[in-house]
Structure 1
Amino acid sequence: MKPTPPPIDPTKRSLVPPEPELSPRAAKNIVRVFALLLAIPLAFEIASWFTVSKTNLAAATVRSGMQWVLTHALTEGNREVFLGRDGWLFDQHELDRLVHARRDGNEVRSDLIKLAARLKEQDTQLLVIAIPERAALYPEQIRPGRYANVVRLDDESVKLGELKAAGADVLDMTDALWEFRDRELAFFSQDSHWTPEAMKMVALTVNKHVREKFPRLGSTETPIINATILEHTDAGDLARRLDPLHAANLLGEEGADLISIEGIEPSGKSPIVLHGGELMRVYDDATLSFGGGGKPPSAGFATQLATLLGRPVDVRGLPGPDEKHEDKKLVIVLLPMAELVP
């Protein structure tokens, strides 16, 4: 039988306080604060119509301060750049590609298949060089762990096989660069481009491949060149996408030792054509990362490959649908893997 509880003294009852309510005045103050916060960007935008330089500078300064707090206090990047471990930055599109979040297709691979067919008719070989992305080679900077192999998409080998079936010769540098990264840095931590050392390793591999398969295209004579060592520093294009105004103050700068070579200039008469984008131009274009902003350094992939082959090459941009290759014996296309297999 349960004991009878003692009676509750009415004077000692617990009173539940009522829910707090905002007064009309407090509610209006909150609305005013939010309205002010929303109006600040609009005010900068309107003012920029009249005082462009001063207003843009003020807006960039505010952005720099906010990004510094996000980076150093909250370890966050922005919607375009992911901040990984040890100050490593990654383009968000790289991560989206690896996790299949968003994969926008392109016509690069199909265009190369058509190009291989056209070149085959004129007895010209197509050589495609595939370079992996930074996220594939440095996954531990995104998610901590021990990775036994490179992170890559399952259908990469299938898609590259389609190029080979069409008659193209494909050099997939993914595994070679995975081994190289254990010895030297293959990519910068704050820049989207490869290091000069990784570029030179790929150029050596391509030179060996060309000399083995096309021995007549490589010269046995050593060209007369003038080589200059340049020491360049840069905050990195990914860091500038976080903070366009003070990128160097955000995460510091990185250095690159370039070998600028003069004496073996590109030639349209060469039997070898080299197509490429920023991977090819990064150390030849003064406006790109580590370019120096002045005279082009002449230290890019085309210059390195021509020096190793001992002959000039015909340097062009990415191949177009109506690209002409008459009297050419070898067409080389240097591309990121993400463009071949998006």
Structure 2
Amino acid sequence: MKPAPPKIAPAKRTVVPPEPEFTSQEALKLVRVLVIALVVPLVFEIVAWFTPTQTNLAAACVRSGMQWVLTHGLHEGNRDVYLAREGWLFSHAEINRLVHAKRENNETQAQLTALASRLKAQETSLLVVLIPGRAALYPEQIRDGRYTGPVRLKEENTTVSELKAAGIDVMDMTDALWEFRDRQQVFFAQDSHWTPEAMKAVALAVNKQVREKLPRLASAETPIINATILEQVDSGDLSRRLDPLNAARLLGDEGADLIAIQGIAPSAQSPIVLHGGGLLRVFDDPQLSFGGGGESPRAGFATQLGMLFGRPVDVRGMPQAGEGYEDKKLVIWLLPMTELVP
């Protein structure tokens, strides 16, 4: 038989608290909190609909703060941009290209060969100026080491040889810019475009090539121009891909001294056509890096080349199918090597 449990002294008894009551005032407070939690993001989203960038400010602020922690605390970029040594930024696509990551086929070589055939039929010369990628010229920022030359894909030399065999005049500026980087910087650290100094060096090389092979196209007279020095600053397009809201706070700005030239405006009547993309427009287009906003400063590659030629050039974008070249004597295509050999 079980012994009877001892009686609990009244002083040791536990008082069970009454069940909490959910009052109407507390319910109203909870509803208010839920409404605010739903309305505030909705307000930010509605505001984003009426802003030019259509950016949700709340989400952008959170992303900006997290990226600052990743960059300065963990030395990490994001899924689009790799944070390398000394504050240099590289797109992951640049690095993937060098390690032979799987990539889509490119038809640029076939397009060049077809264009050369069309131009040859009308006795027009084609000059292709190949500009290396940033990762090819600054590999030590990605992986520490001593590099005796640019990092190149073996397909590059093969492709260049095939273009020359097709009768195309090719200027591969990779080795020349590798040597140039010992004197001055070729590319910006936080921007995907080349520096004004590298652009001028390439323009000088192209001018020399054209004057040697087609001297009648360049003028011996010095044109009358009005030059202005512009000091531009920009945080860089790669930095903005890390932090679209406040890129300057993340890694700071970079500066560029541009020489804006008036008096060599592009002309459709010029016998020289100049094709290109971002490298061609970077210091002329106010929407691109170092453009400065407002009117175009006319400090880009086309202006520099026109000044060296002593005559304007016919500036166009990337070549289009069926594009006409009547009365043209020379077509120059400023082409990144990464587009020829992706």
* Contact 1:126–1:331, Cα closer than 8 Å, also in 2: yes
Residue 177 of structure 1 aligns to a residue in which SS?
helix
Displacement of 1:44 in angstroms is 8.9
Runs of at least 4 residues of structure 1 off by over 4 A? 42-49
* Equivalences for residues 248-259 of structure 1 within 5 A: 248-259=248-259
Which residue of structure 2 lines up, in the alignment, with residue 72 of structure 1?
A: 72
Q: Which amino acid is 2:238 matched to?
A: L
Alignment of 1:71-150 (within 5 A): 71-150=71-150
Kindly, what percent of the aligned residue pairs are identical? Answer: 69
Q: Contact between 2:243 and 2:250, CA under 8 Å: does it hold in 1?
A: yes
Query: Which residue number corresponds to residue 57 of structure 1?
Result: 57
Per-residue Cα deviation, 1:299-322 (whole angstroms, up to 9, x for no partner): 000000000010111110111111
Deviation at 1:103, TM superposition (A): 2.0
Deviations 1:75-117 (A, max 9, x none): 1000000000000000111001010113222211111110000
- Which position in structure 2 is the counterpart of 1:192? 192
- Would you say the 8 A contact 2:44–2:57 is kept in 1? no
Change (3 A) 1:43 1:335: farther
| Letter aligned with residue 212 of structure 1 | E
Which residue number in structure 1 is paired with residue 236 of structure 2? 236
Secondary structure of 1:233's partner? strand
Which whole-Å CA distance do the structure 1 matches of 2:116 and 2:222 have between them? Answer: 32
Q: 1:100 to 1:295 in 2, by over 3 A?
A: same
Give 1:50 shift.
Answer: 3.5
Instruction: Find the aligned partners of 2:63 and 2:315 in 1 and give their Cα distance.
Output: 40
The CA RMSD measured in Å over matched residues stands at 1.6
What SS does the corresponding residue of 1:72 show, helix, strand or coil? helix
Gaps of 5+ in 1: 1-41
Gaps of 5+ in 2: 1-37
- Deviations for 1:207-239, whole angstroms, at most 9, x for unmatched residues? 000000001111000000000000000000000
Name the CA shift for 1:281/1:44 in 2 (closer, same or farther; >3 Å): farther
Moved more, 47-56 or 206-215: 47-56
Residue by residue over 1:26-46, the C-alpha shift from the partner in whole angstroms, topping out at 9 and shown as x without a partner, is xxxxxxxxxxxxxxxx99986
User: Relative to structure 1, is the Cα distance of residues 242 and 213 closer, same or farther in structure 2, using a 3 angstrom cutoff?
Assistant: same
2:327 corresponds to = 327
Aligned with 1:232: secondary structure?
A: strand
**1:68 to 1:323, Cα distance in 2 relative to 1, 3 A:** same
The question of 1:226 aligning with 2:226 is answered: yes
* Residue of structure 2 equivalent to 1:37: none
How far off is 1:139 after superposition? 0.2
- 8 Å Cα contact 2:45-2:56 kept in structure 1: no
158-167 vs 308-317, which moves further: 158-167
Q: SS of the residue aligned with 1:269?
A: coil
The residue aligned with 1:216 is 216
Residue 160 of structure 1 and its aligned partner are, at CA, apart by: 1.3
Q: Equivalents in 2 of 1:124, 1:91: separation in Å?
A: 37
Deviation at 1:48, TM superposition (A): 5.4
Q: Please give the TM-score of this superposition, normalised by the length of structure 1.
A: 0.85
Alignment of 1:269-288 (within 5 A): 269-288=269-288
Alignment partner, residue 297 of structure 1: 297
Distance 2:60 2:84 in 1: 24
* Corresponding letter in the other structure for 2:129: I
Distance 1:297 1:278 in 2: 15
What secondary structure sits across from 2:284 in the alignment?
coil
Aligned mates of 1:201, 1:43 — CA distance in 2: 56
- What letter matches 2:168 in structure 1? A
TM superposition score normalised by structure 2 = 0.85
How many corresponding residue pairs? 301
Larger radius of gyration: 2
